[in-house]
């Protein structure tokens, strides 16, 4: 039998290094490595190819994923999952490495229940919002993309005596906004996980302006859904010109950082080795308390990710 890898859901930097490691590790073990293109949609449409070293050369430094990705509504219908299973059977594939997030893992959990196709999930999302793991592939690169953007915005903010409201991605999780706020020295941080007091923040900012402050940085998580409200508050209550910058999908791109490349190598290698040594695997590899471990898909789907309390306390000065 053979082994395959696919990406599902949002792309993240580090996927390509993981794909490279997957192919090379499989070949070392004399396994046939297959690449599934276009995620779950490609699994249904049989976009599956046998891989060689040449297919994964010159990709370790590239952002995104050479396999491309997708979100598939069809896969949640049994008849399409059956087609996907038959495609794998035809090629003799009985093991999958899946780079994705919680939605992808739920889909694979159902796939395992239906057809007992072994898989290992690798947490891959810049949102860093998967329950059970402290780190997801692509987060460090996204944080560095945000850092560069904030540093550049600070230049123009100080030149025009303005406040900038910078919206980060993260879906319903404020991790990216929180870490970026702390490490950029922002004045305001608005995330779903923390209550904020605009009146208190306004009084503090006005006092600082009277004492020489010429700009302000306000980092807002998209999940808070208050970006325009914060900009209006700055202009009307604080009395400073405000501009909004939505970083958007730039945060998903860029060369993978050294840390994300290293994590990709470790995640992928351990995933392949697990599948080759366990013929009943339907787990996710996580990074928890500075070590890797395998946990059940049921555990991953049983809770909601929460930012560690100690990290949340670092934003105290930016919410009130």
Please list the active-site residues.
Answer: 127
Rounded Cα distance, 297 and 285, in Å: 10
Report which DSSP code applies to 134.
S
Q: Is the dihedral of CA 232, 233, 235, 240 positive or negative?
A: negative
Q: Which two tokens stand for residue 180?
A: 């970026």
Q: Distance between CA 312 and CA 310 in Å, rounded?
A: 5
Q: Where are the alpha helices (DSSP H) in 211-306?
A: 227-233, 258-277, 297-300
Q: Which residues pair with 291 in a beta bridge?
A: 288
In sequence order, what are the residues at sequence separation of 6 or more whose Cβ sits closer than 8 angstroms to the Cβ of residue 97? 3, 4, 5, 6, 18, 22, 119, 120, 122, 268, 271, 272, 275
Report which of 276, 282, 299 is spatially closest to residue 113, judged by C-alpha positions.
282
């Amino acid at each position: 039998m053979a082994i395959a890898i696919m990406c599902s859901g949002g792309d993240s930097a580090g996927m390509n290094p993981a794909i490279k490691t997957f192919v090379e590790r499989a070949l070392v073990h004399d396994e046939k490595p297959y690449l599934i293109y276009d995620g779950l949609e490609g699994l249904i449409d049989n976009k599956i190819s046998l891989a060689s070293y040449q297919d994964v050369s010159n990709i370790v430094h590239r952002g995104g994923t050479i396999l491309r990705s997708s979100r598939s509504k069809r896969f949640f219908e049994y008849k399409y999952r059956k087609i996907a299973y038959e495609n794998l059977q035809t090629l003799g594939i009985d093991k999958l490495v899946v780079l994705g997030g919680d939605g992808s893992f739920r889909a694979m959990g159902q796939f395992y229940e239906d057809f007992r196709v072994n898989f290992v999930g690798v947490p891959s999302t810049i949102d860093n919002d998967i329950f059970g793991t402290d780190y997801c592939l692509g987060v460090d690169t996204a944080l560095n993309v945000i850092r560069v953007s904030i540093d550049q915005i600070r230049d123009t903010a100080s030149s025009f005596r303005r406040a900038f409201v910078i919206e980060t991605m993260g879906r319903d999780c404020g991790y990216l906004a929180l870490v970026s706020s702390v490490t950029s020295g922002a004045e305001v941080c608005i995330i779903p996980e923390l209550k904020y007091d605009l009146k208190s923040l306004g009084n503090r900012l006005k006092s600082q302006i009277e004492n020489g402050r010429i700009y302000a940085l306000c980092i807002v998580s998209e999940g808070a859904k208050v970006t325009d409200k914060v900009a209006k508050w700055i202009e009307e209550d604080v009395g400073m010109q405000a501009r909004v910058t939505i970083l958007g999908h730039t945060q998903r791109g860029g060369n993978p950082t050294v840390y994300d490349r290293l994590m990709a190598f470790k995640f992928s290698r351990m995933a392949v080795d697990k599948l080759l040594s366990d013929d009943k695997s339907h787990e996710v590899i996580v990074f928890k308390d500075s070590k890797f471990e395998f946990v059940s898909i049921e555990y991953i789907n049983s809770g909601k990710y929460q930012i560690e309390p100690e990290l949340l306390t670092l934003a105290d000065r930016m919410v009130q």
